[in-house]
Amino acid sequence: MDMERLLQDVADDVRQSLGTGKVADYIPALAQVPPNQFGLAIACLDGRHASVGDADQPFSIQSISKVFTLAMVLSGRGPLVWDRVGREPSGTPFNSIVQLEHESGVPRNPLINAGAIVVTDHLIGGSSADDAVDRLVAFMRARSGSNSIGVDQQVARSESETGSRNRSLAHFMASFSNLRNPVETVLSAYFRQCALALSCRQLAQAGLFLANKGRDPQTDEMVVAPDQCRRINAVMMTCGHYDGSGDFAFRVGFPGKSGVGGGILAIVPGEASIAVWSPRLNRSGTSWTGSQALERLAARTGWSVFG
């Protein structure tokens, strides 16, 4: 398969949908991103790479960061985190608080905001928010093979200034003793992880260990054990798009995680890691054109975890 050709064909397939959907507007830094951009990049396990469109333009990865903090936690004192966060789809929006009361402060899964806040608390452990962010940035640089990756401080500040809902989630969990560090410590790291900026090319490379049973093919490092890698992919499949997760599984058929910056990371186990970015979102907060592109790519390649 000619990957450059494939991506070009997919880009042509979705060009007419670029005006559909709404850019995230809860912070100016996201609201001001030119909305009709589109980038797509693929990194294959056999070493092939390809990209098309705005694939070198860094964007705010937002909730895609939740996959990487989960991987870091599962590679360390991992299994313990499952006492504090579940692995069921939520069927609710990314920042919903309603289930937390019914379920005693234990979030449904690590890919909704409440769950990711718990994972970040776990990642901080007995260290500091700055130390956790430094480790995360180092992790992303190692996975992507790019030392230019960092936190967009302007986005991070705006996240914090508009973070009332995330503060509510965190305080609510703290009231059930499901946070070990102070709320502001945890959120200071969480807001910065959301503000990590990567291009599609960097993100596709960074996700490749998830297509390779946990081993980074670039560095040959075992990032997470194979069984943990399967679990991360399972959670992405079932929970990666909030209340749009079922539809994404139905239409695309492999694990993915969206962010409100318009990026999606998708993993085809045994084959490839794919990153797509287009800022306009659907009602679940997933890139409209990005998910269309992945649907087209799945149709053109026949790739699916469902056979």
Residues belonging to the active site: 63, 66, 190, 242, 260
Is there binding between residue 62 and ligand GLU (CB under 6 A)? yes
**Eight-state DSSP code of residue 230:** H
Is there binding between residue 95 and ligand GLU (CB under 6 A)? yes
Mutual angle of helices 183-194 and 113-124, in 10-degree steps: 110
Is there binding between residue 44 and ligand GLU (CB under 6 A)? no
CB 200 within 8 A of CB 276: yes
E strand or H helix at 293, and its extent?
helix 288-301
Give me the DSSP letters along 166-196.
HHHHHHHHHHTT--SS-HHHHHHHHHHHHTE
- Position among 194, 196, 210, 249 found at the interface with ligand GLU (CB under 6 A): 194
- Position among 58, 86, 105, 259 found at the interface with ligand GLU (CB under 6 A): 259
Is there binding between residue 260 and ligand GLU (CB under 6 A)? yes
Point out which residues pair with 52 in neighbouring strands.
40
Is there binding between residue 113 and ligand GLU (CB under 6 A)? yes
CB atoms within 10 A of CB 43: 27
Q: How far is the CB of 12 from ligand GLU (least distance, A)?
A: 28
| Measured distance between the N- and C-terminal CA atoms of the chain, rounded to whole angstroms | 19
Is there binding between residue 278 and ligand GLU (CB under 6 A)? no
Is there binding between residue 90 and ligand GLU (CB under 6 A)? no
Nearest to ligand GLU of 228, 287 (CB atom): 287
Query: Which residue from 67, 32, 39, 55 is spatially nearest to 196, judged by alpha carbons?
Result: 67
Q: How far is the CB of 51 from ligand GLU (least distance, A)?
A: 22
Nearest to ligand GLU of 66, 215 (CB atom): 66
Give the separation between CA 123 and CA 104, rounded to whole angstroms: 22
Size of the site for ligand GLU (CB under 6 A): 11
Is there binding between residue 159 and ligand GLU (CB under 6 A)? yes
Q: How far is the CB of 121 from ligand GLU (least distance, A)?
A: 14
What is the SS3 string spanning 240-268? Answer: CCHHHHHHHHHHCCCCEEECCCCEEEEEE
Nearest to ligand GLU of 143, 257 (CB atom): 257
Nearest to ligand GLU of 162, 304 (CB atom): 162
Give the separation between CA 86 and CA 105, rounded to whole angstroms: 11
Q: How far is the CB of 263 from ligand GLU (least distance, A)?
A: 9
Question: In whole angstroms, what separates CA 66 from the centre of its chain?
Answer: 5
Nearest to ligand GLU of 34, 164 (CB atom): 164
Residues that bind ligand GLU (CB under 6 A): 62-63, 94-95, 113, 159, 166, 194, 259-260, 285
